[in-house]
Amino acid sequence: MDASQIKVFLDGATSYFFETTGSKAEVGSPYLIDDARSVAGEFTGAIGITGRHRGTVYFTADRALLMLLMKEVGEQNMTRENMLDQVGDVANTISGNARNHFGNDFMISVPTLIYGQDALHLPKGIKSYALPVVWKNFRANVIVVIENLD
């Protein structure tokens, strides 16, 4: 992926927080990672990508960010299942926005929900980028692991 393609995911993350809560999120500089545990939060939503691209988009965050986000969207039931649903929603929205940019050949799956930092494993042979996101002083990451098949 090149810088302009990665920017699509950064823009998707900032757009999600602003449109959902009215508050801006700040994004840091993307960087390559080899091990997801270095950037994984307690909760992760993963969206599989197929078509002219192949890979996965992850949104990963800790409980504190998710509790505040859920409160802002009116969710009062702070169960583990609802937090997993929330990270899945964020990952799905970011990936859906990317699909609008990349076109119909950028096909996205339903979210896979992952609990625990040690449960997140990145595929070998594809560059993995961490995109830091800070919202209301809480940090999350979008992890983009996508290769072009053209």
Contact 97, 110 (CB under 8 A): no
Q: Report the percent of the chain where pLDDT is more than 90.
A: 82
> Is the pLDDT assigned to residue 17 strictly greater than 90?
yes
d(CA 20, CA 16): 6
**pLDDT, tens only, 74-125:** 999 999 999 999 999 999 999 999 999 999 899 999 999 999 988 888 888 8
With a cut of 90, say whether residue 21 has pLDDT above it. Answer: yes
**Are the C-beta atoms of 149 and 129 separated by less than 8 Å?**
no
* 40 has a pLDDT exceeding 90: yes
pLDDT tens, residue by residue, 124-148: 888 999 999 999 999 999 999 998 8
Q: Could you tell me which residues come within 8 angstroms of residue 137 by beta carbon, excluding any fewer than 6 positions away?
A: none
Q: How far is CA 140 from CA 5, 51, 61, 64, 68, in A?
A: 20, 27, 5, 10, 13
Q: 3-state class of 14 per DSSP?
A: helix
pLDDT recorded at residue 118: 81
Per-residue pLDDT band at 9 (split at 50, 70, 90): very high
CA distance 13 to 30: 13
Residue 149 reports pLDDT greater than 80: no
**How does the average pLDDT of the chain come out, rounded?**
93
- In angstroms, rounded to a whole number, what is the distance separating the alpha carbons of residues 70 and 53? 31
Report all structural domains of the chain as residue ranges with CATH numbers, in order of start. Answer: 3-148 (3.40.1550.10)
Q: What is the Cα–Cα distance from 43 to 28, expressed in whole angstroms?
A: 20
